[in-house]
Structure 1
Amino acid sequence: MNGLYALKPWYADRLAGLRRALVARQVSPHTLTAAGVVCAAGAAAALAWLPAPSAALLVAVLLAGRLAFANLDGALARDTGRTTPRGALLNELGDRAADLLVIAGFLPLAPLWLVAAAAFATMLPSWVSLAGAAAGAPRRNGGPVGKTERCLLAVVAAASGWAVPVLAVVAAGSAVTAVVRAVWVWRALGQPETVVAAVARERVVATERAMATERDVASEKTVVRVAEPASSAPRRRPSPSPPPSPSPSSSPTLGSFPSEHDRSLPLDPGEVSGGITHTRPQSPADRGTRLRGAR
């Protein structure tokens, strides 16, 4: 029992042209999810503040936009290869927020306890579907009173002013939908293990593909730093190198022989001072003194 959810393929075909235009303009699926929440908030405000039946047309247009954006965000993500785990999370949060906002529009029109009961009941079908998908069963949608039927009932309330009866139908119908989905999920999980395992493998493959797509998108958005050009400051002139040290052939060092023009004089053993022997050329006077001492 899918209810009005069975019309989803037909409705998606009617939106194909708009979807192609959004793909051409590179609109983000997150933007469409946010637009659906905004439409739900506008419908709730119109339902709460405008009298019936004046609110009916505006509520109908805004809720039709809410359903259209809910259909387009997932389709756009698949067409552009941008299905990611974060996108799936944002889609679920956006759908639940939109449902609660529509129910909040009944606050000035119905008792608080009934509004609270209807808000809780509208969450039950999605909780059952998500629990079944987490256990390995296919995601179950539709039902006697699903998302589309709730939007239609809100338009009926805006046109007729019967807020309390409509809320009672929403609460009871949502609870019945949750039970129907729970029974279907229970039977699906009771099938042979190979069927459930095949579904689980498909979910794992889809998750890995989505994560790979997310990594590719993140890598494309990575900003590559361009190396800065070299500084235009004037280059510093190199400091002059020190003059080369004199070679051993040009100046005598300690313990070395004198140069060629001093070799005509005999050498004196010199004196030993501080463990260093200093040699110097022997003058004629020193040579005479040495000869007299030897005699």
Structure 2
Amino acid sequence: MISIYTIKPAFQNLLRPIAYGLHSRGVTANQVTLAALLLSLAVGSVIWLWPTPLTFLLLPPVLLLRMALNALDGMLAREFQGPTPLGALLNELGDVVADMGLYLPLLLLPGLSAAAIVAFVLLALLSEFCGVLGVQIGASRRYDGPMGKSDRALLLGGIALLLGFGVSSGFWLHALLWIANGLLVLTCYNRLYGALQESKACP
């Protein structure tokens, strides 16, 4: 299933010089993971406290920076420092907490269905849980799309950009969010199905 996750290797290649620089300065993967989490919570708090078009314009660059930090922590762990159990826990927990911190402030948009936003956040969390469940049955951690973490960031970043430049929320946004929720349900299915198929193929 098509997902922005498929371009991750190319994105990592662009960031590799930065990863080398961070490693040479003693920055650890866990520090980068925590930085991404704290950044997400800080910006989410700003938007929650001051839900204005200007603050919604913070979302696109922050989501892009968070994607870069998420790629960098993985590269530091795999290529330089070695993965650790604490790092794995921080990575999974940090992603879902950061999602909640960045996306729940959309509840403050006037005229927008709270149910659509809450469903989006809950289904995003469920999709990540479904990805982790693959490990429980002997498969890999699943990242199947079509609405993975990077896809959600692109969608919400685009929405925030439109809202920040004065486009009013309305039916288009309701419809878009519910379509995204449907794609999240499909993502959950694809991850569970992929994990089952992978576990059957394992000796």
Between the aligned partners of 1:125 and 1:168, the Cα distance in structure 2 is 16
Between the aligned residues of both structures, percent identity stands at: 29
Q: 1:64 to 1:6 in 2, by over 3 A?
A: same
Partner of 1:30: 30
Between the aligned partners of 1:177 and 1:25, the Cα distance in structure 2 is 38
Partner of 1:153: 155
Normalising to structure 1: TM-score of the pair?
Answer: 0.60
Normalising to structure 2: TM-score of the pair?
Answer: 0.84
Q: 1:51 to 1:169 in 2, by over 3 A?
A: farther
Instruction: In structure 1, give the amino acid aligned to 2:179.
Output: V
Residue from 95, 115, 118 that aligns with 1:116: 118
Partner of 1:66: 66
Q: Secondary structure at the match of 2:191?
A: helix
Between structures 1 and 2, the one with greater helix share: 2
Between the aligned partners of 1:7 and 1:102, the Cα distance in structure 2 is 23
Partner of 2:130: 128
Between structures 1 and 2, the one with greater strand share: 1
Contact 1:154 1:166 in 2 (8 A): no
Partner of 2:191: 181
Q: Secondary structure at the match of 1:190?
A: helix
CA RMSD of superposed structures (Å): 2.1
How many angstroms does 1:35 deviate by?
A: 1.4
Q: 1:2 to 1:86 in 2, by over 3 A?
A: farther
Contact 2:29 2:73 in 1 (8 A): yes
How many angstroms does 1:165 deviate by?
A: 3.8
Between the aligned partners of 2:108 and 2:186, the Cα distance in structure 1 is 26
Greater mean deviation of Cα atoms: 112-121 or 67-76: 112-121
How many angstroms does 1:26 deviate by?
A: 0.4
Contact 1:125 1:177 in 2 (8 A): yes
* Count of equivalent residues: 192
Between the aligned partners of 1:17 and 1:57, the Cα distance in structure 2 is 28
Partner of 2:166: none
Residue from 145, 151, 167 that aligns with 2:177: 167
How many angstroms does 1:39 deviate by?
A: 2.8
Contact 1:37 1:94 in 2 (8 A): yes
Q: 1:190 to 1:182 in 2, by over 3 A?
A: same
Instruction: In structure 2, give the amino acid aligned to 1:170.
Output: A
Between the aligned partners of 2:65 and 2:200, the Cα distance in structure 1 is 38
| Structure 1: runs of 5 or more not aligned | 198-295
How many angstroms does 1:42 deviate by?
A: 4.2
Between the aligned partners of 1:2 and 1:134, the Cα distance in structure 2 is 25
Contact 1:133 1:139 in 2 (8 A): yes
Instruction: In structure 2, give the amino acid aligned to 1:138.
Output: S
Contact 2:100 2:121 in 1 (8 A): yes
Contact 2:142 2:191 in 1 (8 A): yes
- Render the CA deviation track for 1:21-80: whole Å, top value 9, x for unaligned: 10010012121111111232344346553544x456421111111111111112112233
Between the aligned partners of 2:44 and 2:156, the Cα distance in structure 1 is 9
Between the aligned partners of 1:143 and 1:114, the Cα distance in structure 2 is 20
How many angstroms does 1:135 deviate by?
A: 0.4
Partner of 1:18: 18
Structure with bigger gyration radius: 1
Contact 2:134 2:195 in 1 (8 A): yes
How many angstroms does 1:153 deviate by?
A: 1.2
Instruction: In structure 1, give the amino acid aligned to 2:131.
Output: S
Between the aligned partners of 1:7 and 1:42, the Cα distance in structure 2 is 28
How many angstroms does 1:166 deviate by?
A: 4.1
Q: 1:140 to 1:92 in 2, by over 3 A?
A: same
**Greater relative CO, 1 or 2 (CA 8 Å, sep 6+):** 2
